Amino acid sequence: MAEALRLMHVHAHPDDESSKGAASTARYVAEGVEVLVVTCTGGERGSILNPKMDRPDVLANISEIRRQEMAAARDILGVRQEWLGFVDSGFPEGDPPPPLPEGCFALMPVEQAAEPLVEIMRRFKPHVVTTYDERGGYPHPDHVMCHRISVAAFEAAGDPERYPEAGPAWQPAKLYYHHTFHRRRMVALHEEMIRRGLESPYVERLADWKPDPEWDDRITTKVECAEYFPVRDRALLAHATQIDPDGPWFAVPLEVHQAAWPTEDYELVRSLVDHKPQEDDLFDGLRATVGDWTGMRGAS
């Protein structure tokens, strides 16, 4: 029996797994790939972004409710999920912004915070790992910290001299960054809305968003997954405290998304296998040889 491909997504908060890469996740699950979502924090300091859920009883039980939402989204996507157990840092607002709360995820030493992720990598043995870029996708301190520990864990997991108590070494083959909210995608959605005679919700945002071709050119991998956009949307809606079904997440109809931008996009930043310069598959270079991948540093 052929060895299953394994994919690990590392995310900062519950709901991130549904807003970034969820359709490609659903596609890979349907293909028989084993997918594990690792969630760094419980989202305890997150705002309630759905007016229908902005109630005292929800706020008083936000930690448990967000865990329940994560469980529902996990089941919709068909993935396994584990918590790292760190405390949400919140998003500091103000000029200057206030200091981060003591003991939060973003203030932890990277070397210490990466250790439980190394343990999970060595136990799950992913062939591919995804996380956020160095900007965090957006500048939430937990997203930036998620990037830092994911990169650190990817580099340490295959080194038997690092974190010896975290289990036998395993080196993932490829590391990707999500590129979800990039300008080219938004322009394509905007133009398709206009072409159909619909009102685009992106007019003001695009007017203020300066083109950054160098950033957009970092995308190396475009995974076709439009048929799984409905699964993505159901997973998003499971996070009822975070997603308003009448809000901006659903301002563009599903069929516009599918026609204008049918992929989810990634940047390959580390690979220990040969691959195409422009990919359409996170497992490019691995599918034919996955049984030969030993997970040892320097393996090929």
- CATH number at 225 reads 3.40.50.10320
Q: What is the pLDDT of residues 259-296, one digit of tens each?
A: 999 999 999 999 999 999 999 999 999 988 887 787 86
The percent of residues above 90 in pLDDT, for the chain, comes to 87
Domain range holding 265? 6-181+218-279
**pLDDT band at 300; cut points 50, 70, 90:** very low
Categorize the per-residue pLDDT at 152 as very low, low, confident or very high, splitting at 50, 70 and 90: very high
Whole-angstrom distance, CA of residue 104 vs CA of residue 259: 41
Band the pLDDT of 299: cuts 50, 70, 90: very low
pLDDT on residue 288: 83
Is 234 part of any domain? Answer: yes
Going by pLDDT thresholds of 50, 70 and 90, the confidence category of residue 297 is low
92 within 8 A of 139, measured Cβ to Cβ:
no
Q: Which helix (H) or strand (E) holds 38?
A: strand 34-41
- Tell me the chain's radius of gyration from C-alpha atoms: 19
pLDDT band at 225 (very low <50, low <70, confident <90, very high): very high
203 in any annotated domain: no
pLDDT of the residue at 148? 98
Judge whether 85 lies within some domain: yes
Would 246 be classed as within a structural domain?
Answer: yes
Structural domain count, the chain? 1
Does some domain include residue 91? yes
Instruction: State pTM to two decimals.
Output: 0.95
- The strand pair at 6-11 and 34-41 is best described as parallel
What's the pLDDT score for residue 281? Answer: 98
Contact assessment for residue 205 and residue 186, using Cβ atoms and an 8 Å cutoff? yes
Computed over every residue of the chain, the mean pLDDT equals 95
Per-residue pLDDT tens over the stretch 102-150? 999 999 999 999 999 999 999 999 999 999 999 998 889 999 999 999 9
CB 118, CB 163: distance < 8 Å: yes
285 in Cβ contact with 274 (< 8 Å): yes
| 196 domain residue, yes or no | no
Where does the chain have alpha helices with state H? 16-19, 22-30, 56-60, 62-77, 110-124, 141-157, 183-195, 203-208, 213-216, 229-238, 254-260
Per-residue pLDDT, 292: 76
- 210 within domain boundaries: no
CB 129 within 8 A of CB 10: yes
Q: Give the C-alpha separation, 132 to 182, whole Å.
A: 13
Q: Tell me the percentage of the chain whose pLDDT exceeds 70.
A: 98
Residue 169 lies in a domain: yes
Q: Mind listing the pLDDT tens digit for each residue in 163-217?
A: 999 999 999 999 999 999 999 999 999 999 999 999 999 999 999 998 888 888 9
Alpha-carbon gap, residue 118 to 49, rounded angstroms: 32
